[in-house]
Amino acid sequence: MGAPVPGRMWRLTGHWRPSRLGLMWPAVRMRALSPLLLLATLLLPLPGCGEGEPPPAPAVPEEDSPYPLTLRDDAGQEVLLEEEPLRIISLVPAATGIFQALGEGNRLVGRTDYDLDPELSHLPSVGGGLHPSVERLVGLAPDLVVRFDGESDQATPAALDAAGIQHIAVRPDTIGDIRRMIGTLARITDATEEGERLLTLMDGELDRVRRLVEGEPPVRVAFILGGDPPWVAGRGTFLHELIEVAGGENVFGDVGPLYSPVSVEEVIYRAPTLLLAPDGVGIPSGLAHLPLRRVPTDVQAPGHRVGSSAVEVARVIHPERGW
């Protein structure tokens, strides 16, 4: 899947992107007649057994189901799910985390090498999120594969099409993209109420951070994702948006779109007040004189915890607010 940049970056459409999933046979949804209705049904006389038979009992309504379900994915493709997908493989760690948060993790039958949650360790790995092992994918017989949208891996969707395996593409670049991904995955698993709960929680955390930093002077920030030369978060990324939500100003907000390598000299020239970097990410020695604040590694994951990530970023940009 290409040479990784520290911080588990994946290359999509010419840019590096940050990354962040058992076997299940869920209980079949069963519908049963109530005892009273069953008794009434059994007591009905058979047709033709006399005059004045009562009208037939109304049919028992079937449980509401969203399937067949039609939706449009981030690649612009219309996807028709005739039936509920019970066996899912997510090639996108952020999507994997969302399935778990929706309470639908038991649908997952495989993971990638980048899914490090111990709860997923029992699942077989299909390799990377980009250019996974198609043989392993097909062997796990998924009903649906969630994959990255991007031009860096055209082979995987072509192979899935050839194998007759349905797939849906997601591209969580911005906070808006993340919100849409949560909604899409909730619809796919018929978990819309839980999806709404996740969105409400996420939006509430983002709004809380905005209120707490309102009126504070913006702090000039560069978000370093590792590498030498260093890679930075530019415009069109959720990290750029998090900086602004948290009361900062991204000094590389005009660079991009997405993530780009810049020189050490360029970082110094733009004079950030703070460097932000995930835990464990190396910083070039030429930037050692600039103030550095660390944030948890999960901050760079474009998933449902983006509201909590905003709190972590705000905590280091505006520590005086007493987080």
User: Are 288 and 221 members of one domain?
Assistant: yes
The most distant pair of C-alpha atoms in the chain lies apart, rounded to whole Å, by 98
Would you say residue 56 lies in a domain? no
The DSSP letter of residue 154 is -
Q: pTM here?
A: 0.80
Per-residue pLDDT of the chain (323 residues; tens, 9 = 90+): 444 434 433 333 333 444 333 333 333 333 333 333 333 333 333 344 444 444 454 444 456 789 999 999 999 999 999 999 999 999 999 999 999 999 999 999 999 999 989 999 999 999 999 999 999 999 999 999 999 998 889 999 999 999 999 999 999 999 999 999 999 999 999 999 999 999 999 999 999 999 999 999 999 999 999 999 999 999 999 999 999 999 999 999 999 899 999 999 999 999 999 999 999 999 999 999 999 999 999 999 999 999 999 999 999 999 988 77
pLDDT at 322: 74
User: Are 14 and 129 members of one domain?
Assistant: yes
pLDDT at 56: 53
User: Are 242 and 176 members of one domain?
Assistant: no
pLDDT at 17: 40
Count helices and strands in the chain by DSSP H and E runs: 9, 14
pLDDT at 282: 95
User: Are 291 and 185 members of one domain?
Assistant: no
Residues 234, 9: Cα–Cα separation, whole Å: 14
The DSSP letter of residue 102 is T
Contact yes or no for 284/229 (Cβ under 8 A) = yes
Would you say residue 53 lies in a domain? no
Would you say residue 237 lies in a domain? yes
Per residue in 24-37, is it b (16+ CB within 10 Å) or e — as a string?
eeeeeeeeeeeeee
User: Which two three-digit tokens encode residue 7?
Assistant: 């911080």
User: Are 137 and 251 members of one domain?
Assistant: no
User: Are 76 and 135 members of one domain?
Assistant: yes
User: Are 234 and 186 members of one domain?
Assistant: no
Would you say residue 28 lies in a domain? no
Contact yes or no for 264/287 (Cβ under 8 A) = yes
Would you say residue 88 lies in a domain? yes
Residues 128, 96: Cα–Cα separation, whole Å: 13
User: Are 19 and 141 members of one domain?
Assistant: yes
| Three-state SS at 147 | strand
pLDDT at 63: 63
Q: What is the CATH number of the domain that holds 122?
A: 3.40.50.1980
Q: What are phi and psi of 199, to 5 degrees?
A: -65, -40
pLDDT at 65: 86
State how many domains the chain has.
2
Could you tell me which of 171, 316, 198, 153 has the C-alpha nearest to residue 248?
Answer: 316
Would you say residue 148 lies in a domain? yes
User: Are 129 and 77 members of one domain?
Assistant: yes
**Total residues belonging to the chain:** 323
User: Are 146 and 260 members of one domain?
Assistant: no
270: containing domain = 216-321
User: Are 175 and 236 members of one domain?
Assistant: no
User: Are 16 and 143 members of one domain?
Assistant: yes
Residues 140, 22: Cα–Cα separation, whole Å: 12
